[in-house]
Structure 1
């Protein structure tokens, strides 16, 4: 019995191919548009770096922007640069070289940092909503509640809260056996395409991804929702029309960013597996990893008089 079972075990192990690298297929189905896509994504990346970098500089050097709201905005802009830099430079290299090879460990690091920064973004958006809630609903207590120490603590908490869980989740995903194809039909390393090429039962790992997404995406979203329900209720009670429009204008920029980021992210991670398609996943992934960071400085600068005034001081006419 024992020699026979050992022989079967050896045969099973010999059939398992240990993956040392993955191939990101990216835009391989559009070979004639690679150079054009490279140009578009390069311009987008430069806009993200310059636009968000400019917001960071403005919030640091301009005295009028030394408030909690702009402190969070500066940190959010830095986070956007980091978040985009996890995926976009690799995409640009793949488009230019027409190769999508990524070592196993590099793929794991990309996935891990993507999740850590993505969760930090969700939490920071919730913190920014709470800041607006305190400013509009409790204006007299605003300087006391949102003092500098509290602001720093909230930013640090946003950055580090998800780290242990997300490192564990990444380890779970990459501890799977990848005995089939090493081709990922995606633009970067992510759980859905990785689980597709894994062999064996991946149900528990898929469940872990969905639970983590629900916990770290939906809880901040619910906090944002509660904050804005209270904000809108307070605004509607204001006597003057000018007061209402001013209060709404300070929140509208944040709401637009929340809508773009959460809308596209939720479609990728929270919809049923049966409704997934590689093309739609790529498009929605571009939205929350590239489009939102690109529009963040545009939304905040065009709809904010303080930022426009600071820009005019910084850039000579």
Structure 2
């Protein structure tokens, strides 16, 4: 039986959704999701990129299957000139994957040389990771005398305690919580891993869980409307990514900081490293296939390197020789 791709809900009407949507895009997204196990957030981003690309071509009287080299190049050039480098990489990746799939399915063949664009020379922005003291201030901001504040505190504590991705924490189901303070989750690429967390996070999750049903009912939802651990007090029963990001950004602004859910993942890795955790351990906890990927998540500071030299180098002030025998 052939599967059909259902468009994710947005603020536009169904007719507006279908206007810039080629049915073959749905087949492409289904194949990508089933074969590679991409998250819903990644699929959603792909859908938005495809719709934008297709709408741009239609203004030129073209279709994505008949686009010329100059059409594709002009589109990518406009993205390069008006959007960030990360957006360019994301859109370019989406278009390349689309045409690779189209070639495999004998829809259209586009030479790979058409799907390139000269990048602007830029310095890669280094993520500013908050200190452990700043994170403590952030964790204490939610008003835990309210149900919403309890949920926010539980989410923040669990994010910082585990380094989970936003999509991973939003997908946690009630039945996954166990007494041993560990979670078996399905990460990026449908790779399963074990996530552990401490007593502080466990305490706040338990406090929130006691109020969870009341939150659903107060928002007009059935207590069985969703099995996701974290729920919303809005029109959706399950907590959504935009709500998570807005919550973290809102608390961060009160501290004159700019934070996102992904920043907490970086902070988790950096603070573990500063505390002496081995890179291999951090790699396992983050769920990375390659060690080099984990090193990107660690913001090393000069003072950390100086402390390491003072402690571990024979010429260091605090060096203590280690003798095996």
Q: TM-score, normalised by structure 1?
A: 0.23
Bigger helix share = 1
